[in-house]
Structure 1
């Protein structure tokens, strides 16, 4: 009897062990999924509207120096993102604002709140500009559509995309729910990169190279740093992503940031180099402005990029809304106010994007005014004040270097942006798109034909 009584316990115990193993495996997969989601959210935040201006930053800095600066900005971004979370751990805070508030008091808190609101808000404006510019050219390629049709104009497209896409997506309250959207955005970005790489081979040889195309370095490199900083900054939402992790730790966050930054800099350098090598000195602040409207492959790229920025838009809206919630509502935003504030922010951003049409200037000014302090200055200052590590510690040495560099980039960038504003050819076809007797996108046309006809058709360009 004793033996029979014990018999059923063995399979029951085995069943319990199997169940615990399945639960443990499920939890492990859930944690891994959360980390993957965090990686995609960070990459999506970095590879946003700023990427489209990176080829222009190569023109500003010179290609060799530009690539070195891009590596430098990516390294500083990686370092400062980890530094922020370390600062949060040292101060016992879980938001960028509360970290600065505990470190520098209410004045620092207000300054950061302004910067942390302005940067994503300006990014939202730039996303609207890109959507209007890219999709208007996409719809113009539809057979039978009048290019002057009001319903394919940039203003109507901005309003429509806001009402149909960005507003509903921005009403989410949990940033982790945007993980799949961020993954889709990353896939589309890869497609766009492929198109730009294809065009450097098929189109690049037919575009005349400017005299300063291969200069090592240029005086406007500071302005290039502004564009790069705008492209790489995601500090304003790092605590949001960090908080979405399962059992967040500094070590886990460091791994996520290293992977995200590595992927982002790889995509960015390829995009910047290929875009610049195609057009050299003719490169615009919005790279898609360089391509001819009758280039159907690029038209597909424009469509993909429009989708990408629409999918990135909600992440920036999350941050602007969080700043308002922290400043005015103590961090807790009731549902009604959540909806009202979201609608208000998006409406104002939409109205401003209807009035501004030069993307390059937006990226440059936002980079030097907002991105430089958020990347270089504030994380370093917070860590230096909070950390009790010796002065010779690597984190402290790097922080001491970042502070003056960030201040220099900010001051010099603002001065140069005001005294030496960039040209903007928004909405205009480039000179090499005008000839009717050949197509630049038709690779069957000989190189000799194109290079001999271009100077004749546009001789005034080079005078």
Structure 2
């Protein structure tokens, strides 16, 4: 064991204060094993278990109160994104079996990534992503993690507000039976996105603790469950093949299939599922699926507020959340694909609307999806605010003024992006292709490699070799995603398969 030495521990806790200062001389360093604790117990136990009577808190003085179920709701809501609308399109371009293989692989890799995060945080008693970066690589590591979290989550929030801006006016027009171009403020997407941000998103974002959002997260997941039920139901209501006029409107059938329909001949593949498919669009679906389980910035904040926390309990929450989303993703993709087959569009609800623009069920589903993405924005905003606090005001006491100002400033900037930069989605694509692989693959792996004591796991041990391989996989995914985006730009064709 290394000689005892004095080191500094920094912890960000939900009440906004940072507990820092020199550890006792007997405290373990990043390069030591479970060293002696003058108050008894290992570092991980002191950092994450509730403080026993008579023992002073060391890593956190915050007593988590969020239940297991509420934590599952919050993490599941963080995973669930608007990308579920594009998964049927992804299945159409991969085939059912290949899609299932890819989805399973991504879910397992995401669970392993969270395992690395939790194990790293347990070694040093830190439950802030940015502070893991600081512990591993100093200030550059902290800034890199904070920047990746900020860019990734701002891109995600902007995509959710884009959905509100584009879909809510159509829903209102349909409900009120208005003409498509009625010049009223309540059918203007720019006004509506501001109204929703001020009336719904901002009050939820001002909550001091993430755990309080468990109820809204549960309701949001209920809305997406309704979406899934509707997709399954419509599979047995929409005819296949579609009427020729509707098929032409969707615009996704080949010339040979259209000719076969006109001649009254069966079109091979038109209503038959494909199990393995490789085409020019298949490569675009891989990054979509790779980022379908992005929730890593929210894992440690949820862990911090968990009642009676332990690494095993948080891993169970993560695995259950990933499993629930895995089932919902696969069922939504499968029944959406089996409804339209090759005629499915990159945004599934658009396909239903073209088949029957006045379908009441699909209208209700649109409302449910709008509700779900609206209630997801506050969950995604929490890690961004924490990252900004880490960069700007790490050593300061909690301030309601700063807490409110950061949330208001973030929502203002995102609203301005959504209103005045309609073509910024390409930039968001670049952000997602760079920050998401860092947060899911690269950072958890290299933080684990640096933080895990070499006495416990040598550099050539199997866990560390696996972690390095995981980081390399992230680099390859980043290079692949950026290559697809550049090729897409150079060729002048926009291929959208949805995004997380």
TM-score greater than 0.5 by the shorter chain: yes
Q: Please provide the CA RMSD for this pair.
A: 2.7
Q: Distance in 2 between matches of 1:74 and 1:362?
A: 26
The residue matched to 1:81 in structure 2 has which SS?
helix
User: How far apart are 1:400 and its partner, in Å?
Assistant: 3.1
Counterpart in the other structure of 2:336: 275
Counterpart in the other structure of 1:345: 410
The residue matched to 1:77 in structure 2 has which SS?
helix
Write 1 or 2 for the structure with the bigger share of helix.
Answer: 1
Counterpart in the other structure of 2:209: 174
Whether the 8 Å contact between 1:204 and 1:277 is mirrored in structure 2 is: no
Structure 1 stretch 122-131 or stretch 54-63: which is displaced more? 54-63
Change (3 A) 1:399 1:340: same
> Which digits, 9 at most, give the CA deviation of each residue in 1:395-416, with x for residues without a partner?
4354233222111110111111
The partner residue of 1:249 within 296, 306, 310 is 310
The yes-or-no answer on 1:407 pairing with 2:475 is yes
Counterpart in the other structure of 1:375: 440
Counterpart in the other structure of 2:494: 423
Counterpart in the other structure of 2:173: 140
Q: Distance in 2 between matches of 1:358 and 1:229?
A: 24
The residue matched to 1:83 in structure 2 has which SS?
helix
Counterpart in the other structure of 1:234: 295
Report matched runs for 1:278-427 at 5 Å.
278-292=339-353, 293-330=357-394, 332-355=397-420, 364-387=429-452, 388-389=456-457, 395-420=463-488, 423=494
The yes-or-no answer on 1:200 pairing with 2:235 is yes
Whether the 8 Å contact between 1:59 and 1:281 is mirrored in structure 2 is: yes
> Which digits, 9 at most, give the CA deviation of each residue in 1:347-379, with x for residues without a partner?
111111224557986775444222111111111
The residue matched to 1:217 in structure 2 has which SS?
coil
Counterpart in the other structure of 1:187: 222
Whether the 8 Å contact between 1:59 and 1:276 is mirrored in structure 2 is: yes
Whether the 8 Å contact between 2:66 and 2:305 is mirrored in structure 1 is: no
Counterpart in the other structure of 1:122: 155
Whether the 8 Å contact between 1:55 and 1:271 is mirrored in structure 2 is: yes
- Aligned residue pairs total 397
Counterpart in the other structure of 1:7: none
Counterpart in the other structure of 1:40: 73
Counterpart in the other structure of 1:15: none
The yes-or-no answer on 1:103 pairing with 2:136 is yes
Change (3 A) 1:59 1:366: farther
User: How far apart are 1:32 and its partner, in Å?
Assistant: 9.6
| Structure 1: gaps of 5 or more residues | 1-29, 427-463
Change (3 A) 1:244 1:120: same
User: How far apart are 1:423 and its partner, in Å?
Assistant: 3.4
The residue matched to 1:290 in structure 2 has which SS?
helix
The residue matched to 1:291 in structure 2 has which SS?
helix
User: How far apart are 1:425 and its partner, in Å?
Assistant: 9.1
Q: Distance in 2 between matches of 1:58 and 1:383?
A: 34
Structure 1 stretch 315-324 or stretch 195-204: which is displaced more? 195-204
Q: TM-score, normalised by structure 1?
A: 0.79
Structure 1 stretch 396-405 or stretch 306-315: which is displaced more? 396-405
